[in-house]
Amino acid sequence: MAEKPVSKVRSGQSQAEIVEAFSDVDEARATGLRQILDENGRALAAMPALSPTDLVRMYEGMLRGRLLDEHLLTMQRQGRIGLYLDARGQEAGVIAAAHAMAADDYFVPALRESAAALYRGLPLRTYLAQMLGNANDLAHGRQMPGAVGSRASRHVIGSASVAAQMPHATGLAWAARMRGERAVVVGFVGDGGTSEDDFQSGLNFAAVFKAPVVFVCQNNQWAISTPLHNQTAARSIAIKGLAFGVPSFRVDGNDVLALYAVIKDAVDRARTGGGPSFVEAVTYRMGAHGPSDDPNRYRDPADALAWQDKDPLLRFGVWLDAQKTLTTEAQTATRQRIDEEIRAAIAAEEAAGPPTVASLFDDVLAEPSWLLDEQRAEYLRLRKRRRS
């Protein structure tokens, strides 16, 4: 019996497409640095289409993230919440992506993108209930601290496994396309994550199957104590995307307008069948990796100081003031209003107290089960006996 041909694709066909993907223009986009606002908040290039209302909303979204970080870091130190990883300095990428997305799109965060959930509709009180793991928390405090999620806002609960977001984002995007939805997925990864196998798998599968996904790498220069130069010998992180045949862009990660312009284009391209894109946001982790980390042991303090001048909030604020879209005085009033909002929400959620012990048995199975009912009753009986 004659053997069936395994493929109907002519050999050499895909190679031609790969060669095309490596044009000089593509390479320049993946190794240059796209900016709209310079470090002093001066405009260098054409503005993306954003109304004054959009701009103010984006500024508020970034500021809310910053203020929440400050409160929650203090609360972590005081033992009022568990693990907390902050995003100070990285707010531009988070809010640019959130603003570029439609309500039905999915956000797949890495470790520091919780502010996007708030921006896309998660109420502050619900967010804080999750952070505290209190009685109002839908997950009854069982979720890893700091990993917020929202089904309604399509914000996927963060995975602690570095770069797992890449195949998760690709899978979600591919599934959405198979279901005939118009949804696009935006997935985040850190510079450390780009050395993981999941990074390759996620990018490759998305590229081959043209999944509607946009990957954003927050290149904050450090993966705990590993500096970027020990992470990769590539000319940039974005250039890695070209090897997979994915349009890739290196952008100033502290310039919310440049990030928005690039991510919005990428989201539109994905939605209209153009497949995935990869965006490297060049930024800086202003704080420690996490509560058990002391960056002064491995990082030159002068470096951190130099990056303070590139603060994404400061830069955006200077430009907004110059445009009279949001004056410095209005920015101060906004800060005060949001801070009060946060303080009131924290007080209300702390007052809710921890989940009941009996809730340990809730939601374990979709349907009520006599076995769980028995276990709950037995557990409560033993607790009572130990206490009496």
Q: Please confirm, yes or no, whether 285 is among the known catalytic residues.
A: yes
Q: How many CB atoms lie within 10 A of CB 323?
A: 14
For the bound state, the minimum distance from the C-beta of residue 266 to ligand TPP, rounded and expressed in Å, comes to 20
Residues that bind ligand TPP in the complex, under the rule CB under 6 A: 111-112, 160-162, 190-193, 220, 222-224, 285, 289
- Residue-wise DSSP of 184-212: -EEEEEETGGGGSHHHHHHHHHHHHTT-S
For the bound state, the minimum distance from the C-beta of residue 168 to ligand TPP, rounded and expressed in Å, comes to 13
CA distances from 195 to 230, 244, 381 (A): 10, 15, 51
Which residue matches tokens 């997925």?
185
Strand partners, 226: 223
Q: Between 195 and 204, name the residue whose CB sits nearer to ligand TPP.
A: 195
- Residue-wise DSSP of 39-105: TTS-B-SPPPS--HHHHHHHHHHHHHHHHHHHHHHHHHHTTSSS-----TT-HHHHHHHHHHS-TTS
Q: Please confirm, yes or no, whether 298 is among the known catalytic residues.
A: yes
Q: Between 267 and 281, name the residue whose CB sits nearer to ligand TPP.
A: 281
Q: Between 26 and 191, name the residue whose CB sits nearer to ligand TPP.
A: 191
Question: What is the identity of the amino acid at 294?
Answer: D
For the bound state, the minimum distance from the C-beta of residue 111 to ligand TPP, rounded and expressed in Å, comes to 5
In the chain, the N- to C-terminal Cα span, in Å, equals: 81
| Cα–Cα distance measured from residue 248 to residue 365, given in angstroms and rounded to the nearest whole number | 43
For the bound state, the minimum distance from the C-beta of residue 249 to ligand TPP, rounded and expressed in Å, comes to 19
- Residue-wise DSSP of 106-140: EEE--SS-THHHHHTT--HHHHHHHHHT-TT-TTT
**Looking at beta carbons, which residue is closest to ligand TPP?**
190
For the bound state, the minimum distance from the C-beta of residue 172 to ligand TPP, rounded and expressed in Å, comes to 19
**List 66, 112, 120, 285, catalytic entry:** 285
| Cα–Cα distance measured from residue 217 to residue 190, given in angstroms and rounded to the nearest whole number | 5
Q: Between 75 and 147, name the residue whose CB sits nearer to ligand TPP.
A: 147
For the bound state, the minimum distance from the C-beta of residue 346 to ligand TPP, rounded and expressed in Å, comes to 24
Give the burial class of 56: count Cβ atoms within 10 A of its Cβ; 0-12 exposed, 13-18 middle, 19 or more buried. middle
**Tokens coding 299:** 């990082």
Q: Please confirm, yes or no, whether 289 is among the known catalytic residues.
A: yes
Q: Between 123 and 290, name the residue whose CB sits nearer to ligand TPP.
A: 290
Q: Between 196 and 350, name the residue whose CB sits nearer to ligand TPP.
A: 196
Please choose, from the candidates 155, 180, 171, the residue with its C-alpha nearest in 3D space to the C-alpha of residue 211. 171
Q: Identify the sign of the CA torsion 154, 155, 156, 162.
A: positive
**List 71, 120, 177, 289, catalytic entry:** 289
**List 235, 298, 337, 383, catalytic entry:** 298
Q: Between 134 and 194, name the residue whose CB sits nearer to ligand TPP.
A: 194
Which residue pairs, CB below 8 angstroms and at least 24 apart, start in 141-145? Answer: 141/354, 141/355, 144/83, 145/81, 145/82, 145/83, 145/84
Q: Between 190 and 212, name the residue whose CB sits nearer to ligand TPP.
A: 190
For the bound state, the minimum distance from the C-beta of residue 217 to ligand TPP, rounded and expressed in Å, comes to 9
Active site residues: 285, 289, 298
